[in-house]
Amino acid sequence: MCGIVGYIGSREAYPIIITGLKRQEYRGYDSTGVALINHGLKVFKKKGKVAELEESLLGKNLSASIGIGHTRWATHGEPSDRNAHPHQSASGKLAMIHNGIIENYNQLKQELLNKGYKFNSDTDTEVLLNFIEEIQKNNQCGLEEALRIALKRVTGAYVILLLDEDNPDTIIAARKGSPLVIGIGKDEHFLGSDATPMLEYTKEVVYVNDYEIAIVKADELILKNLGNERQTPYITKLDMELAAIEKSGYEHFMLKEIFEQPGTIYDCLRGRLDATAGTITMSGVQNNIETLKNADRIIIVACGTSWHAGLIAEYIIEELCRIPVEVEYASEFRYRNPIIKKGDVIIAISQSGETADTLVAIEKAKEQGAIIFGIVNVVGSSIARASHAGAYTHAGPEIGVASTKAFTAQLAVLTMIALKVAKEKGSISPERYAKLLFELEDIPEKAEALLKNVEELKIIAEKYKGSADALYLGRGYNFPVALEGALKLKEVSYIHAEGYPAAEMKHGPIALVDEKLPVIFIATKDDYHSKIVSNVQEIKARKGKVIAIISDGDETITAMADDVFTVPPADEIVAPMLSVIPLQLLSYYIGVAKGCDVDKPRNLAKSVTVE
Ligand code: F6R
């Protein structure tokens, strides 16, 4: 995790770096720091968010046209001033920021300790930095050469940016496993973990590849591999506007992103789905249709919310395509020597496209010959690039740390893929296919309608904000929605919550039910509706408080529940895109009512680039 920013050119570096760091705080926010060179190297760093560092530097001379900055998500060493980046080398001449983990840092540290080095922090970053300086000293070589030698000894993931007081016209950067984007301006360059720090200055960017070193001057960008061979930078045009990463009048990004969903689902379907013509146009699917429709098995790998989208996709693909699907936590899949056979297709789902566990899982599966299909939100991200084929979700930048609009966009893409494969395979009837296309096309409008009516959720949030625990229950397609609802509540309100299949509740969790426990049922109309009505009764019989998300017109559950929120009726296959929205909002309102930082919940980071 961690966000990194760099600038070199003729502008003032500090404001560009601070603004860039604020945009990247979704990646981590437990400490912040900047290093600038102007008549010597200056390093400022502090525990806390970017705004806290900024405030502490008011009135200081920060003028410089070269600098780097870091917003941290702690891996080695607690969040503190001394563990904040940038770190300085023993000589004080080098400053470095790092995103990732140096796995063999202990071994490197021991070597340095044996040589008499002392460390000012508990970080792996300071170890790597001194390791580089030690090589420089021993080999009497330049920083670039020393870095190259050092990186050959390093295992783990990194993006690093280095400043050298003796070379104040150069930033040296390197990447393996963590993202690095370089923006190209006129006689200036911008560096970031993503493109947000450079949006208002340039639309031309280079995504640096693994095992590449960038030597960045104001008027020159040189890329080399670890073998010291020059690489041609591949310039990509950014398709993102500044407005997309601003709050646009909303109190929080999370709220903005929840309310954006009618538009983001629409954007995801636009140009792909034409219900009237009965077509779904997705080149990534079409170009691989034989592989997909003849797959013996589909394995979905993902983490967190994306994993929940994968669970819903399991139900949809098995139902419509009749292909067996397994859904795996990427972190488990990669370590347990999974059996991957020829004819298996791996679908990797990721909002950020940078989640380390998912990335490594697909690399491993690729080595075993699997075809990787990526469903990713961030264009040009590592998972998108590591996939053989794929489909973007087009939800736009998601800044709130708790994922919302990316989830519904993932569902929209997965449903289209399932429908297209099912049609090609002949595993769906023409009538059902046609009906589901219209159902999908109607989702943005139905989402818009339900978002007009959310005042009730604020009242429910007030009622239950003091709860210590909550239980989320759903059946069928709504079971993963229950998991997602529970995850959202935990993340943004710190209330302990669990999601369960509604029927499974009687095998254990029912013991938790008392008059204080809120039980949230996702009980929209589907094939199992009568069953879930019985489950609601079981909870009521034990005096639990029932909050139910139901379809418009459902009188049965309305009569039994303590609180209800209605969503427009929809086919059960597409209904999760609607039923999840009130759960996102309920978590948001409870988090706000409790005074939690909903956009940046404690201990979390949006892009989990450590394993
Ligand atoms: C939950 C959340 C996380 C992510 C998970 C995977 O709100 O944001 O659980 O879903 O870290 O991230 P991506 O989708 O970027 O791979």
Question: 135 pLDDT exceeds 80?
Answer: yes
Question: 157 pLDDT exceeds 90?
Answer: no
Question: 607 pLDDT exceeds 90?
Answer: no
Active-site residues: which are they? 2, 606
Q: Whose C-alpha lies nearest to ligand 1, atom 9?
A: 304
Question: 52 pLDDT exceeds 80?
Answer: yes
**93-107 per-position pLDDT tens digit:** 999 999 988 989 999
**62-101 per-position pLDDT tens digit:** 999 999 999 998 888 889 999 999 999 999 999 999 998 8
For residue 401, the CA-to-ligand 1 centroid distance in Å is 8
Taking the CA of residue 304 as reference, the ligand 1 atom at the shortest distance is 9
DSSP letters spanning 338-356: ----TTEEEEEEESSS--H
Backbone phi, psi, residue 39, to 5°: 50, 55
Q: Which of 352, 379, 405, 600 to mutate to test the pocket of ligand 1 (most atoms within 8 A of CB)?
A: 352
DSSP strand pairing (204-207 vs 235-237): antiparallel
Q: Whose C-alpha lies nearest to ligand 1, atom 4?
A: 304
Token pair in block for residue 385: 């690039």
pTM metric for this prediction: 0.84
Q: Does residue 23 or residue 415 have the better pLDDT?
A: 415
CA distance 218 to 235: 17
Token pair in block for residue 562: 């303590």
Predicted local confidence at residue 245, as pLDDT: 81
Predicted local confidence at residue 347, as pLDDT: 98
For residue 276, the CA-to-ligand 1 centroid distance in Å is 34
* Residue pointed to by tokens 């208002």: 200
**471-487 per-position pLDDT tens digit:** 999 999 999 999 999 99
Taking the CA of residue 606 as reference, the ligand 1 atom at the shortest distance is 8
CA distance 532 to 514: 19
- Helix (H/G/I), strand (E/B), else coil: 273: strand
**295-315 per-position pLDDT tens digit:** 999 999 999 999 999 999 999
Taking the CA of residue 383 as reference, the ligand 1 atom at the shortest distance is 16
Q: Whose C-alpha lies nearest to ligand 1, atom 7?
A: 402
Q: Whose C-alpha lies nearest to ligand 1, atom 5?
A: 304
For residue 490, the CA-to-ligand 1 centroid distance in Å is 14
Predicted local confidence at residue 63, as pLDDT: 97
Q: Whose C-alpha lies nearest to ligand 1, atom 11?
A: 304
Q: Which of 307, 308, 355 to mutate to test the pocket of ligand 1 (most atoms within 8 A of CB)?
A: 355
- The residues near 33 (Cβ < 8 Å, ≥ 6 apart) are 43, 44, 45, 46, 53, 69, 70, 72, 84, 85, 86, 97
Residues 438, 439, 442, 444, CA torsion sign:
negative
Predicted local confidence at residue 469, as pLDDT: 96
- The residues near 17 (Cβ < 8 Å, ≥ 6 apart) are 5, 6, 7, 34, 67, 68, 69, 197
Q: Which of 306, 414, 580 to mutate to test the pocket of ligand 1 (most atoms within 8 A of CB)?
A: 306
Q: Whose C-alpha lies nearest to ligand 1, atom 16?
A: 350
Query: Nearest 5°: CA angle at 369, between 364 and 375?
Result: 65
Predicted local confidence at residue 424, as pLDDT: 96
Predicted local confidence at residue 460, as pLDDT: 96
Predicted local confidence at residue 71, as pLDDT: 95
Of the candidates 27, 395, 397, 5, the one whose C-alpha atom is nearest the C-alpha of residue 201 is: 5
Taking the CA of residue 401 as reference, the ligand 1 atom at the shortest distance is 8
**Arithmetic mean of pLDDT, 339-350:** 92
**258-280 per-position pLDDT tens digit:** 999 999 999 999 999 999 999 99
Taking the CA of residue 607 as reference, the ligand 1 atom at the shortest distance is 15
For residue 496, the CA-to-ligand 1 centroid distance in Å is 18
For residue 306, the CA-to-ligand 1 centroid distance in Å is 6
My answer on whether omega of the bond before 86 falls inside 30° of 0, hence cis, is yes
For residue 329, the CA-to-ligand 1 centroid distance in Å is 12
For residue 63, the CA-to-ligand 1 centroid distance in Å is 38
What is the share, in percent, of the chain residues with pLDDT greater than 70? 99
Question: 26 pLDDT exceeds 90?
Answer: no
Taking the CA of residue 302 as reference, the ligand 1 atom at the shortest distance is 16
Predicted local confidence at residue 528, as pLDDT: 81
Across the chain, mean pLDDT equals: 94
**534-569 per-position pLDDT tens digit:** 999 999 999 999 999 999 999 999 999 999 999 999
For residue 403, the CA-to-ligand 1 centroid distance in Å is 6
Pocket of ligand 1 (CB under 6 A): 303-306, 350-352, 355, 358, 402-403, 487, 491, 608
Predicted local confidence at residue 105, as pLDDT: 92
